[in-house]
């Protein structure tokens, strides 16, 4: 049987509890060193991987930017076209007498159904129109008045004047939309 022989004087002998603690700390240190090495390797790997990834993306973006620059003329044309088209839409939405002129043509078609009716001066603008009609034939004139009741292109219509003269007959001024 082995026997421990301690030749060191008792006051110089390290207590066993301290020796155990030292061994435990040493073991922790070894684990920490291994962790440090592993962590460092992992970090370096990630760093290299991410750096390469970024480098690839950067070079890919540089080539894409060169592509965009080579398409600069198309881009200029696209921007110009889109800008002009948005303004063309605006121009098309601006008030004009065009729509009222279309309505006037319909009015004129109705008036042409009455051969005795004379269409006088007509003013057409963006807001509406003012039309003067005259006729020597009273029955034709009344027929016309009934017929234009169907002409509902404007939210409001009014008779601005109704006159009679022996040579021109009945003279009616109509106002639409104004």
Partner 1 sequence: MEYSTNNQIKYLAKPILMLVAVLALLAFTVIFGIGKIKTLNTKIQAAKVLKGQLTQKIEILQNVQSKVEEGVGLAGIALPSKGSILFGLSQIKNKVNSLGLVIENLKTTNTVKEENGVERSSISFDITGDDTNLYLFLDSFKKILPLSNIGKLSITGEGGVSMATITINFYSSEAVQKIPSVSGLVSGLTPGELDILNSLSSYEVPEFGIPTVSEFPVRDDLFN
Site for partner 1 in 33-52 (CB under 8 A): 33, 35-36, 39-40, 42-43, 46-47, 50-51
In the complex with partner 1, which residue's Cβ is closer, 71 or 142?
71
Q: Residue 126 is inside which H or E element, if any?
A: none
Residues 92-131 interacting with partner 1 (rule: CB under 8 A): 92, 94, 96-98, 101, 104-105, 118-126
In the complex with partner 1, which residue's Cβ is closer, 100 or 148?
100
**Residues in Cβ contact with 135 at an 8 Å cutoff, skipping those fewer than 6 apart:** 114, 116, 117, 118, 141, 144, 169, 170
**Residues in Cβ contact with 161 at an 8 Å cutoff, skipping those fewer than 6 apart:** 171, 172, 173
Residues 126-155 interacting with partner 1 (rule: CB under 8 A): 126
**Residues in Cβ contact with 159 at an 8 Å cutoff, skipping those fewer than 6 apart:** 172, 173, 174, 175
The reply on whether position 20 binds partner 1 by CB under 8 A is no
Residues 77-96 interacting with partner 1 (rule: CB under 8 A): 77-92, 94, 96
Output the CA–CA distances (angstroms, integers) from residue 140 to 114, 163, 171, in the order listed.
6, 16, 13
The reply on whether position 162 binds partner 1 by CB under 8 A is no
In the complex with partner 1, which residue's Cβ is closer, 1 or 175?
175
């Amino acid at each position: 049987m082995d026997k421990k022989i301690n030749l060191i004087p008792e006051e110089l002998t390290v207590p066993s509890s301290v020796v155990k603690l030292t061994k435990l700390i040493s073991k922790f240190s070894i684990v920490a060193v291994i962790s440090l090495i592993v962590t460092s390797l992992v970090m370096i790997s990630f760093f290299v991987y991410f750096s390469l990834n970024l480098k690839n993306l950067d070079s890919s973006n540089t080539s894409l930017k060169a592509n965009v620059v080579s398409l600069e003329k198309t881009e200029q044309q696209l921007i110009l076209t889109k800008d002009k088209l948005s303004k063309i839409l605006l121009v098309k939405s601006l008030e004009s007498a065009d729509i009222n002129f279309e309505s006037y043509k319909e009015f004129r078609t109705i008036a042409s159904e009455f051969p005795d009716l004379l269409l006088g001066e007509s003013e057409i603008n963006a807001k509406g129109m003012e039309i003067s009609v005259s006729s020597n034939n009273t029955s034709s004139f009344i027929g016309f008045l009934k017929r234009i009741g169907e002409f509902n292109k404007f939210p409001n219509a009014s008779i601005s004047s109704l006159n009679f003269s022996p040579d021109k007959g009945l003279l009616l001024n109509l106002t639409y939309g104004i």
